[in-house]
Amino acid sequence: MNDRAHHSGGWADSPVVRQRIRIALYVLCALLLVVELFISRTGHNRIESIPLMYALYGFGSLVFAVVVARGLRALVRRDEDYYDS
């Protein structure tokens, strides 16, 4: 039999491939941030013309969502044997 038939993982399960994907995403994010500095935006408010405003807004929204999710987890947590009754 072929050894690939016994391999349960996909092509992206290799640590080398994961690292290359991660590096490619970091490079892409850095390039988009650099391009953002050279784009002139005309917004409805002064805050929209701040360089990297949309990147900062997105990052802040992500941090806010994580903090709220951690609080909600404590609120809706059930005991480990909740469904065993």
In a domain? residue 10? yes
Q: State how far the Cα of 32 lies from the Cα of 76, in Å rounded to an integer.
A: 38
If you search the block for the tokens 């050894």, which residue do you land on? 3
In a domain? residue 7? yes
Q: State how far the Cα of 1 lies from the Cα of 49, in Å rounded to an integer.
A: 62
If you search the block for the tokens 């690939």, which residue do you land on? 4
Q: Name the domain count of the chain.
A: 1
Q: How does pLDDT run across 15-48, given as a tens digit for each residue? A: 999 999 999 999 999 999 899 888 877 778 888 8
In a domain? residue 48? yes
pTM of the predicted model over 0.75: no
| Residue span of the structural domain in which 38 resides | 3-76
3-state DSSP call for residue 31? helix
Q: State how far the Cα of 85 lies from the Cα of 79, in Å rounded to an integer.
A: 11
In a domain? residue 81? no
Q: How does pLDDT run across 8-22, given as a tens digit for each residue? A: 678 888 899 999 999
